Structure 1
Amino acid sequence: MKKWPLLVALLATPLFLAPITELAYAAAVMSKLGDLAPFEKMASDTLVLIDKGDLGGARERITEFETAWDNAEPTMRPKNVDEWSVIDDAADAAISSLRANKPKAANAKATVAALIHALASPAAL
Structure 2
Amino acid sequence: MTTTLTAGRTPASTRAMLNKVPEITIWFWIIKILCTTVGESFADWINMTLGVGLENTSLPVADLTVLREITHDSLDKLTAGDQAGATARITDLETTWDDDHPKLEPLDGKAWTFLDGQIDTVLSAMRASHKDKAAEQTALTALLTSLGSS
TM-score (norm 2): 0.59
Percent of aligned positions with the same letter in both sequences? 30
CA RMSD of aligned residues (A): 1.7
Where does the alignment leave 5 or more consecutive residues of structure 1 unmatched? 1-28
Structure 2 alignment gaps of length 5 or more: 1-54
Aligned-partner residue type, residue 62 of structure 1: I
* Corresponding residue number in structure 1 for 2:59: 33
Shift of 1:118: 1.4
Larger radius of gyration, structure 1 or 2? Answer: 2
Partner of 2:102: 74
| Partner residue, 2:74 | 46
Residues 1:90 and 2:100 are matched in the alignment: no
Aligned length: 93
Question: Of residues 122, 129, 133 in structure 2, which corresponds to 1:101?
Answer: 129
2:146 and 2:119 map into 1 onto residues whose CA distance is 9
Q: Secondary structure at the match of 2:111?
A: helix
Alpha-carbon distance between aligned partners in 1 of 2:93 and 2:67, rounded to the nearest angstrom: 6
- Whether 1:117 and 2:145 are equivalent positions in the alignment is yes
Q: 1:30 to 1:56 in 2, by over 3 A?
A: farther
* TM-score where L is the length of structure 1: 0.70
| Cα distance in structure 2, aligned partners of 1:82 and 1:31 | 9
How far the C-alpha of 1:68 sits from its partner, in A, is 0.4
| C-alpha distance after superposition, 1:43-97 (max 9, x if no partner) | 0001001101111111100110000000000000000001111111110001110
Aligned counterpart, 2:38: none
Is contact 1:43-1:116 (8 Å) kept? yes
Residue matched to 1:14? none
SS in 2 for 1:79: coil
